[in-house]
Amino acid sequence: MKFFAYILISELDNSLYIGQTENIEKRLQRHNAGKNKYTSRKRPWKLLHAEPCTTRAEAMKLEKYLKSLKKRKAVFDWINKNSQGVAQPGADFVET
């Protein structure tokens, strides 16, 4: 089974949300349906990046690390330098 650490970007205000899941499509639908307290206020969301991980523990560790990066630029820099995952078509990894 594959797990993912993922980064969403709000189409409302360009804020980022970082999480982990084993089903990206289902999780994104839940965020956009307002089933998550934090993300419900900043809908709609689109997938910016999903990094594959072999275990949930690995995905959780990466999620925690990405959340520890306090600046948006650091998250975009990480995507540019270390990414093995998939980006949403048309997403660019330049800090805005």
The CA–CA distances, whole Å, from 60 to 9, 16, 66, 75 equal 19, 17, 10, 16
pLDDT range class, residue 11, cuts 50, 70, 90: very high
Q: Of the given ranges (14-18, 41-45, 80-84), which has the lowest mean pLDDT? A: 80-84
CA pair distance 73, 17, nearest whole angstrom:
14
Selection from 90, 6, 8 nearest residue 51 by Cα: 6
Helices (H) and strands (E) in the chain, counts: 4, 4
pTM, whole model, 2 decimals?
0.85
Residue 24, pLDDT score: 94
Locate 44 and state its tokens.
């709609």
Residues 6+ apart with CB under 8 A from 17: 7, 8, 9, 10, 31, 38, 39, 42, 45
Domains of the chain: 3-87 (3.40.1440.10)
Amino acid of residue 81: K
